[in-house]
A and B are shown apart, each in its own frame.
Chain A
Amino acid sequence: MTEILDSTVFAASHIAAGGGELEAGIRERRRQRARRERIAAVIYPIGMLAALIAIWEAAARLFSLPPYLLPAPSAIVRSMDANSAVLVKESVTTTLEIVLGFLLSVAVGVPLALAIYLWRPFARAVYPVLVSSQAVPKVAVAPLFLVWFGFGLLPKVLIAFLIAFFPVVINTAMGLAALEREKIYLAQSMGLGPFATFFKIQLPNALPSIFAGLKISITFSVVGAVVGEFVGGQGGLGYLLLIANGNMDTALLFAGIVALTVLGVIFFALIGLLERLVLPPHAVEHTSFGRETM
């Protein structure tokens, strides 16, 4: 395929005008196909989801399941409507924890990765500890954070950070280390200094990997914030879940889960958007499948 392209390209560039039109036609068709694929990628999962919800609704009515076990989707929607003010208020609390936890992960994770990459003794000392520290179940540390930091915003942010910063460190360090020797040689032969090499070649080279880390990290931040609220919450969606659970208000429980899911999806999409803005289009398309399934 590339070979055919290669020779047609040669022909095209030497024939000039006629070849140009052919080229444009091929590009236009490719664009259309890409658009169809994009639309299909949205429509199919939405259709699937709609079908599942319809089946759920039908089953709940047909077998008249007790609502404290499995409320019908319509009941969940009613509960969301009735509790919208609470849901919004608790979402704001949780959002703040997620965002702060994530930002802290980036603010600590990226410099840490840089230090690990640039400074060998530091890497030797820190990297093994960092990796083995991941064996500690971080959720189990949450109660400790309450003892240390109380019941406010801080412990939740710190738990979110604790869970979310590791993928940032690992992916950033891996991205920086993945620079091929030839690229370094190339930079040296061009007389490019270490600073310029870093910003012109190494950092952009690492960006896809860094973004993969950020996407995992934002998802983990959501988990961290909810865990924090479970353990010592006075507010937030995690706290709402606990309350709903205690009241056997399963519809509200589901409403909270929906709100959390929506939050998670929005944050993930925001990182994806940022990635699209920063990286050239193909780099995103090439790697996104593998990453978004993580």
Chain B
Amino acid sequence: MGANTIAAEDQAYLRIENLCKVYATRDGEVRALNDISFSQRRGEFLSHVGPSGCGKSTLLMIAAGLLAPSSGAVRVGGRKVDRPRTDIGIVFQNPVLLDWRTALGNVMLQAEARKLNRKEAEARAGTLLESVGLGGFEERYPHELSGGMRQRVSICRALIHNPDHLLMDEPFGALDALTRDQLVLDLQALVSERHMTVLFITHSIAEAVFLSDRVVVMTPRPGCIDRIIDIKLPRPRTLAMRETPEFAEYSRQILDLFLARGVLREH
């Protein structure tokens, strides 16, 4: 057990160490995160699941170097993060597309910002859009696309530069169930193809279990880590797998934690 832990620490790609975040607001301090520590291996799909307001977004933004922690540290490959990380692709709950750029233009923003070779990047953007079912929609503007399609564009934008680390903050939270299922499947395919390391935030237990190698269950605010659960389901995962007893068992474990913490109440 001890040897195992050390091995895991050695492989750690992302390390979060004793992270706390306190927001100063008009009516006093809000402690959003309290002493969070965990690590992520390269190639691992790690999800955080927790109730709304428990600090998940805060955690992701700190992991991205976009917010400074109040105390504690983020390390990537052993190096401390003290500025916005540019080795990442990031996806927010809203697609955050630029209205005046086409689908392709939005994906290319990333390439332009990084001064990638235009021709190559355009070809790759086309392939990416095609692979999420947006072939033929390259020249459409965001208002001509549905919510699901917009979020697909934003995922392509986060992948075009082949980032080391993909960070996603409830990317499917605003979508309907069917679109969500499709995007979860698309994401799984994209990620396994590229052996991506993904830090994924969700409030959906099913989504977390379906996609992850490990699920970090968070407590209500101030967000602490309640438990980290290994998901040992074979890959690639299929929709039918959601009906298996193993899947149900993982879901129930997380549900029980939520019930115990009063996140959910069965009257």
* Chain A residues in the interface with B (C-beta under 8 A): 2-3, 5-7, 9-10, 12-14, 20, 23, 180, 182-183, 185-192, 196, 200-201, 204-205, 207, 279-280, 282-283, 286
Contacting residues, chain B, for A5 (C-beta < 8 A): 146
Interface contact A189-B114, CB-CB below 8 Å = no
Alpha-carbon separation in the docked complex, A268 to B106 (Å): 32
Q: Does B262 contact A (CB under 8 A)?
A: no
Interface contact B143-A282, CB-CB below 8 Å = yes
Q: B32 CB to closest chain A CB, in angstroms? A: 15
Interface contact A3-B146, CB-CB below 8 Å = yes
Interface contact B98-A205, CB-CB below 8 Å = yes
In the complex, per-residue mask of B119-149: 1 if CB is within 8 Å of any chain A CB, else 0: 0000000000000011111000101101111
Q: Which of B86, B90, B96, B179 contacts A6 (CB 8 A)?
A: B179
Alpha-carbon separation in the docked complex, A146 to B136 (Å): 63
Number of interface residues of B (CB under 8 A): 36
Interface contact B99-A200, CB-CB below 8 Å = no
Interface contact B90-A186, CB-CB below 8 Å = yes
Q: Which of A9, A14, A200 contacts B112 (CB 8 A)?
A: A200
Q: Does B251 contact A (CB under 8 A)?
A: no
* Chain B residues in the interface with A (C-beta under 8 A): 61, 64, 66, 84-86, 88-90, 92, 94, 96, 98-100, 109-110, 112-114, 133-137, 141, 143-144, 146-149, 176, 178-179, 182
Q: Given A6-B179, A14-B133, A204-B98, answer yes or no on A189-B149 (Cβ-Cβ < 8 Å).
A: no
Chain A residue nearest to B90 (CB atoms) is A189
Q: A276 CB to closest chain B CB, in angstroms? A: 13
Contacting residues, chain A, for B113 (C-beta < 8 A): 187, 190-192, 196, 200
Q: Which of B66, B100, B146, B148 contacts A189 (CB 8 A)?
A: B66
Q: Given A13-B133, A189-B88, A201-B98, answer yes or no on A6-B146 (Cβ-Cβ < 8 Å).
A: yes
Alpha-carbon separation in the docked complex, A191 to B110 (Å): 9
Interface contact B149-A6, CB-CB below 8 Å = yes
Alpha-carbon separation in the docked complex, A20 to B179 (Å): 21
Alpha-carbon separation in the docked complex, A201 to B135 (Å): 26
Beyond the given A185-B61, A189-B64, A286-B143, please list 16 additional residue pairs across the A-B interface where CB-CB is below 8 A.
Answer: A6-B146, A10-B133, A12-B136, A13-B135, A187-B113, A190-B86, A190-B114, A191-B84, A191-B86, A191-B113, A205-B98, A280-B99, A280-B100, A282-B141, A282-B143, A283-B100
Interface contact B149-A9, CB-CB below 8 Å = yes
Chain B residue nearest to A14 (CB atoms) is B133
Q: A179 CB to closest chain B CB, in angstroms? A: 11
Chain A residue nearest to B113 (CB atoms) is A190
Contacting residues, chain A, for B114 (C-beta < 8 A): 190-191
Chain B residue nearest to A30 (CB atoms) is B144
Contacting residues, chain B, for A2 (C-beta < 8 A): 146-147
Interface contact B84-A188, CB-CB below 8 Å = yes
Q: Which of B61, B88, B96, B112 contacts A180 (CB 8 A)?
A: B96
Q: List 10 A-B contacts (CB under 8 A).
A: A6-B149, A6-B179, A13-B134, A13-B135, A188-B66, A189-B64, A191-B86, A191-B114, A201-B98, A283-B100
Which 7 A-B residue pairings sit nearest by Cβ, starting from the closest?
Answer: A190-B113, A188-B84, A191-B86, A2-B146, A6-B146, A192-B113, A182-B96
Contacting residues, chain B, for A20 (C-beta < 8 A): 136
Alpha-carbon separation in the docked complex, A136 to B250 (Å): 68
Interface contact B99-A283, CB-CB below 8 Å = yes
Chain B residue nearest to A279 (CB atoms) is B100
Interface contact B179-A204, CB-CB below 8 Å = no
Q: B239 CB to closest chain A CB, in angstroms? A: 15
Chain A residue nearest to B85 (CB atoms) is A189
Interface contact A183-B96, CB-CB below 8 Å = yes
Chain B residue nearest to A188 (CB atoms) is B84
Alpha-carbon separation in the docked complex, A149 to B146 (Å): 58
Alpha-carbon separation in the docked complex, A280 to B105 (Å): 13
Contacting residues, chain B, for A9 (C-beta < 8 A): 133, 137, 146, 149
Among B61, B94, B96, the most chain A Cβ lie within 10 Å of the Cβ of B96
Q: Given A185-B64, A190-B113, A192-B113, answer yes or no on A23-B136 (Cβ-Cβ < 8 Å).
A: yes
Alpha-carbon separation in the docked complex, A283 to B66 (Å): 30
Contacting residues, chain B, for A7 (C-beta < 8 A): 178
Interface contact B90-A185, CB-CB below 8 Å = yes
Chain B residue nearest to A285 (CB atoms) is B143
Alpha-carbon separation in the docked complex, A282 to B98 (Å): 13
Contacting residues, chain B, for A183 (C-beta < 8 A): 96, 98
